[in-house]
Amino acid sequence: MASTFEMIYQVVKKIPSGKVATYGQIALLAGNPRWVRVVGYALHVNPNPNEIPCFRVVNREGKLSSAFAFGGENQQRFLLEAEGVEFLPDGRVDLQRYLWNGID
């Protein structure tokens, strides 16, 4: 049976380029809506960032992670912009436009 982190990573791997998911959405799709903090921790210790695109995960308001999480200030934003994700004037991802539906 897969570990909690493995289940989380399997969901994150499904987020398509140019889309984002929320921590809560990942928790729900991984099997337990109460795992929101666990998702954050799992992504923080991501063993394979090249295969597990944790930069595509944002909070429920579309806000990005702290600068340290992806190797430098604005790195998450840079990675998302490289995939075509645009940001609202306040720096959040427009979830109405870029939120992954959990299916595709």
Catalytic amino acids?
Answer: 54
Give 74's DSSP letter. T
Following DSSP, what letter does each residue of 60-77 receive, concatenated?
Answer: TTSPPPPGGGGTSTTHHH
Q: Across the chain, how many H-helices and E-strands are there?
A: 5, 2
User: What phi and psi, each to the nearest 5 degrees, are found at residue 15?
Assistant: -65, 120
Cβ–Cβ contacts within 10 Å for residue 63, how many? 11
